[in-house]
């Protein structure tokens, strides 16, 4: 039985189409016995999300709310030229960035082009996670993705909300099955996230957990079962390892 202690991919009202305040989200995390909550508002490119200036003052948020450690992140868009939708200055203010493809600001470039763009973003020293790499509207080459995750110290996400909207995340089960088998083979860590857009969804991982179990995945590779492992993972400095 997995005990997930951290939800590292969540959105508050600052994202424009999510509905909880930071405190409502933190209270929900505390009620669900999580020790860590990652706030990862959408970066520019998603309609109605926060202006980058939002990230300037994240230090105003207490490190702990309701006994839950608050991590300050962003879900940053992968753009069609392989760049991230948030500039260096703001990225450097974050505990971590999650890189993700969103069709609101990305046009499908085919399996090789999509994989190139995503890997180019994973090379950024602040990117520690990839969100929902599971959607055949923008297909990915999982062999290349998993090898890049290994090389660039990035954990791949199994997104609980994808299982609830299979029409939006096309073939997500098949894609996760491929990805997880490769993660086992190459010893690449994964995170399970709710991608909550409302306090009621914080810490809701049931479908992703069931799926991981069904795949016979090695739960020792699930990073967010251990808060210390997460801290260690995002403290890793890429400066020597990523910047070549």
Applying CB under 5 A, which residues contact Zn ion? 75, 100, 131, 195
Decide whether 7 or 195 has the Cβ nearer to Zn ion: 195
What CA–CA distance (Å, rounded) separates 212 from 162?
A: 13
Nearer to Zn ion, 39 or 151 (CB): 39
Distance from C-alpha of 211 to C-alpha of 175, rounded to nearest angstrom: 12
Tell me how far, at minimum, the Cβ of 225 lies from Zn ion, in Å.
21
Question: Taking the chain, what is the end-to-end CA distance rounded to the nearest angstrom?
Answer: 40
Q: Which is nearer to Zn ion, 17 or 63 (CB)?
A: 17
CA distance 1 to 147: 28
> What's the min distance (Å) between Cβ of 240 and Zn ion?
30
User: CA 207 to CA 164: how far, in whole Å?
Assistant: 8
Query: What are the angstrom distances between the C-alpha of 193 and each of 163, 221, 241?
Result: 12, 14, 26
State in angstroms the smallest separation of the CB of 144 from Zn ion: 21
Contact of 45 with 80, CB cutoff 8 Å = no
Q: Shortest gap between Cβ of 220 and Zn ion (angstroms)? A: 26
- Rounded Cα distance between 226 and 231, Å, is 9
Contacts of residue 161, Cβ cutoff 8 Å, sequence gap at least 6: 132, 194, 195, 196, 201
Specify the residue, 7 or 75, whose C-beta has the smaller distance to Zn ion: 75
Smaller CB separation from Zn ion, 100 or 139? 100
Output the smallest distance, CB 100 to Zn ion, in A: 4
* Nearer of residues 47 and 239 to Zn ion, judged by Cβ: 47
Least distance from Zn ion to the Cβ atom of residue 196, Å:
9
């Amino acid at each position: 039985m997995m005990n997930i202690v951290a939800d590292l991919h969540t959105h508050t009202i600052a994202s424009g189409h999510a509905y909880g305040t930071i405190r409502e989200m933190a209270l929900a995390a505390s009620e669900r016995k999580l020790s860590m909550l990652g706030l990862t508002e959408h970066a520019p490119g998603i309609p109605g999300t926060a202006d980058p200036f939002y990230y300037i003052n994240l230090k105003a948020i207490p490190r702990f709310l309701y006994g839950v450690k608050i991590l300050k992140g962003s879900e940053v868009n992968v753009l069609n030229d392989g760049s991230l939708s948030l500039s260096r200055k703001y990225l450097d203010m974050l505990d971590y960035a999650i890189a993700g493809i969103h069709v609101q600001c990305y046009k499908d470039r085919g399996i090789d082009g999509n994989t190139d763009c995503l890997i180019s973003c994973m090379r950024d020293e602040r990117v520690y996670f990839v969100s929902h790499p599971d959607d055949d509207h923008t297909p990915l080459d999982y062999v290349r993705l998993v090898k890049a995750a290994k090389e660039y110290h990035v954990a791949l996400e199994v997104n609980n909300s994808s299982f609830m909207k299979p029409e939006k995340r096309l073939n997500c089960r098949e894609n996760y099955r491929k990805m997880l088998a490769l993660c086992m083979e190459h010893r690449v860590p994964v995170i399970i996230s709710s991608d909550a857009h409302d306090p009621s969804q914080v810490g809701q991982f049931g479908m992703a957990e069931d799926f991981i179990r069904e795949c016979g995945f090695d739960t020792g590779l699930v990073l967010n079962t251990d808060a210390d492992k997460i801290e260690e993972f995002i403290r890793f400095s890429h400066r020597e390892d990523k910047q070549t």
